[in-house]
Structure 1
């Protein structure tokens, strides 16, 4: 970018040029980090398996693998999902359950990535390509944000199953299987 407006003071032109240099440097660093993530995803079998899950992208897969390490440290997919903060808060007593919004405890970055992935799945969903029937029926009954968090929870549980069982993710018509 060339700044050639004669009306701008020289000090302002120099400052803008310095900001542009910083921006170019940051963009170069981001491109380098992006290539590193891509290279790691191609090498790591766990990342390859996670990327196969509809709604889990390359950034989410690499973040899950980097943060979780061994998924067997969690006893179940629900425990992993709770660790991410994707389960409802509970205030229950006297045998009466009171479930509230999601707890938001745990790893905020991975939770955010899974929620964005769920949002993308729902955005591209239509009558002809609903990923699963429960999602389509839930969309009819509940608020869109509730459905997004429910799908993110499902993505987390599926990711745990793929990692803990060291198996591939297979998607059949209307259902998913970890095989």
Structure 2
């Protein structure tokens, strides 16, 4: 079948099989195909150029670049925005049709395609975070095992690391030789995880040092190599957001809203978007609150006023929100962050 009349194609992605539904400009389905990986790659180069849409999922970035390189206009939609357009029973062709119909809405939000550098930075962060989670789980398990034998360890990974050799060498506790050997092997795995995390951290620092965008964002207070590289991996140059608040809202740092009948109700932060990046930004804001000197810039003075009338946690989120706003301005403006002295406010 000719694809000349097709205006938009929705693709339901899979590992080995892909379901396509093509529609004309009025939304009438004209094409239904089931293709494997080889056939889909060939289809990308032979089909007439049109709008190609897929859900954001593993593989969407790869196939998005494939179709983009072939001259198509690619749109990647978050899965939660596709669900309302699914009609009748759920199957692969209905999913593909819902994807195409959702993308035909003029106000539909899309996910920008990432560059290879962004994907590599994102992969480094995901591997590093997995190692940190694995290390935390291992340490907690060792604590629980010792607690079953009446041995209590003070809170803190560093304190545990210092106390463990003494516990393993002591002869007056209830640990059997088998249990001591088990804890020793767990400690060796812990040390190996420490080394892997350090290697990943060094690589991320090197990537941040070589990236011009990371260098720009690192000039913002509260943003270091880890935060800057994670931010660039997620948002690139920030051009996908029309204003700074949009990026803060995408990251879930604005109040959750439930308004009706002209009455506006604001709750806690929405916690949408990238939870890992939000955690890093909040950690950076917490470190900034602990170390900033309150009498030297407009930001410090602004935070002081927030803290006087709000809970410390509210001030923390407000500072994280402001950091994201400044990062957007730095990225889109292409200039380093320049703090304003407090005196300039009253000038």
Which structure's CA Rg is the greater one?
Answer: 2
How far apart are the structure 2 equivalents of 1:19 and 1:119? 32
Partner of residue 70, structure 1: 237
TM-score by length of 1: 0.86
The question of 1:61 aligning with 2:228 is answered: yes
Deviation at 1:15, TM superposition (A): 1.3
What SS does the corresponding residue of 2:186 show, helix, strand or coil? helix
Alignment check: 8 A CA contact 2:295 2:342 kept:
no
Deviation at 1:172, TM superposition (A): 2.8
Single out whichever of 164-173 and 43-52 deviates more from structure 2: 164-173
How far apart are the structure 2 equivalents of 1:29 and 1:39? 15
Count of residue pairs brought into register by the alignment: 175
Single out whichever of 6-15 and 140-149 deviates more from structure 2: 6-15
**Residue from 267, 285, 306 that aligns with 1:138:** 306
The question of 1:29 aligning with 2:196 is answered: yes
TM-score by length of 2: 0.47
How far apart are the structure 1 equivalents of 2:235 and 2:294? 35
How far apart are the structure 1 equivalents of 2:310 and 2:171? 58
In structure 1, runs of 5+ residues without a counterpart are none
| Greater RCO, 1 or 2 (C-alpha within 8 Å, sep 6+) | 1
How far apart are the structure 1 equivalents of 2:279 and 2:225? 14
Higher helix share: 1
In structure 2, runs of 5+ residues without a counterpart are 1-164
How far apart are the structure 2 equivalents of 1:4 and 1:115? 41
The question of 1:38 aligning with 2:194 is answered: no
What SS does the corresponding residue of 1:172 show, helix, strand or coil? coil
What SS does the corresponding residue of 1:171 show, helix, strand or coil? coil
Q: What is the alpha-carbon root mean square deviation over aligned residues?
A: 2.1
Single out whichever of 147-156 and 87-96 deviates more from structure 2: 87-96
